Amino acid sequence: MIDEHLVEREQRALMSNYKRQPVQFVRGEGAGLFDADGRRYIDCVAGISTMNVGHSHPAVVAAIQEQAARLIHVSNLYYTEPMIALAEWIRDRSMGGRVFFCNSGTEAVEAALKLCRKHAGHDRPEVVALVDSFHGRTYGALTLTGQPGKQDAFRPLLPGVVHVDRQDLEGLQAAIGPQTAAVFMEVVQGESGVHPTPPEMLRLARELCDRHGALLVFDEIQTGLARTGPLFAYQGVGVEPDVMTLAKSLGGGMPIGAITARPGIDATFQPGDHGSTFAAGPLACAAGLAATGVLDDPALQAHVREEGAWFLGALQTLVDDGLATEARGRGLMCGLDLPRANAGELVSAMLDRGILVNATGPRTIRFLPPLVVGRPDLETVLTALRETLPALTA
């Protein structure tokens, strides 16, 4: 699956902050990735929910080729059209407010945090986030990320961030007050193993933010862009945020992030407040326009709902048969808890069978296939789980 020399070169050339699987990919198509020997792998990771449209989608490839041949980058000192068209797309399909572009998820969270802090002024020093959340790795986003294991080596973090358990309605009530600038939540916590935030928690956050004048921010970096069925996960639960962060699948595989804020709040940033050299570049935005064009299809969103429901039901049969302890999911975002802390072994066993899955913790497997995945691939994944799990459960 992988050339020994490549592993050795990687170790000598790259810092060791990633633990890679022993496979090298050279090509992708739809829900499949191919290694150098031409072996096809069913991709249930999708670049960590970046390839919602599928690998090398022809519309995205054509948009990148066409845009790259004309104009790659000029900076935000000048006008270009793709950024405006992509911002219009986001505005018109979400809260109706304007957009700020950046280059990644963590940058989108930083931008949202700065926007909320500026909007709040200096008298509201606190920000509320959830335990087990994931918002990124830069300092502000890392502080919001409610996982001490990811934070401890990098303390001191940003002051004023308070974490509440995602089930703790009373805790949320106690945490939000006139001192609160913003509340950050994922509609479904992805990185911690696909844990939906209870709708009553989202509703209470909305109510408390309205009461105390704080901003509600939904981090839709993983849940957005049809991953859970609707274009944005908040549309499936009926609670609208004031600010939303996006990244991952927004660029069809090109690096891009964005925030949007509802009208009024979207006037918070003024020239000089925030920016980024690469942000809103025509190449990433052209790719984003092509990708969002694909994701904007009700038939694709129905496919996500149907296949997601089928796959979650199939995972549940593993729980019923004692091979797993819990299955969770929304659309094509699913998590499976194992009876033993050997998720890494399952990832390896599935890789041997030509299937990519990802462990979010010692007991939890996450499934994030490209949204174009077909039923035959999902059936193959289920069969492989059914055949692999007994040895790991005993």
Q: Which is nearer to ligand PLP, 141 or 172 (CB)?
A: 141
What is the CA angle 311-316-46, rounded to 5?
35
Residue 208, phi then psi, degrees to nearest 5: -70, -35
Quickly list DSSP for 177-241. Answer: STTEEEEEE-SEETTTT-EEPPHHHHHHHHHHHHHHTPEEEEE-TTTTTTTTSSSSTHHHHT---
Rounded to the nearest whole angstrom, what is the least distance from the CB of residue 358 to ligand PLP in the complex?
Answer: 11
Among 28, 30, 105, 236, binds ligand PLP (CB under 6 A): 105
Question: How many residues sit close enough to ligand PLP to count as binding (CB under 6 A)?
Answer: 15
Residue 363, phi then psi, degrees to nearest 5: -115, 0
From the list 98-106, 278-286, 340-348, 385-393, the region that binds ligand PLP by CB under 6 A is 98-106
Indicate whether 266 belongs to the interface with ligand PLP (CB under 6 A): no
**156 preceded by a cis bond (ω within 30 of 0):** yes
Rounded to the nearest whole angstrom, what is the least distance from the CB of residue 17 to ligand PLP in the complex?
Answer: 13
Among 161, 208, 247, 371, binds ligand PLP (CB under 6 A): 247
Rounded to the nearest whole angstrom, what is the least distance from the CB of residue 139 to ligand PLP in the complex?
Answer: 13
Residue bearing tokens 């950050």: 184
Q: Which amino acid is at 256?
A: I
Among 43, 126, 191, 377, binds ligand PLP (CB under 6 A): 191
Indicate whether 143 belongs to the interface with ligand PLP (CB under 6 A): no
Among 44, 90, 102, 109, binds ligand PLP (CB under 6 A): 109
Q: Which is nearer to ligand PLP, 141 or 304 (CB)?
A: 141
Nearest one of 231, 175, 230 to 201, comparing CA atoms: 175
Beta-carbon count within 10 A of 270 CB? 8
Q: Which is nearer to ligand PLP, 83 or 368 (CB)?
A: 368
Spatial CB neighbours of 298, under 8 Å, sequence gap ≥ 6: none
Positions in the binding site for ligand PLP (CB under 6 A): 48, 104-106, 109, 134-136, 186, 190-191, 219, 221-222, 247
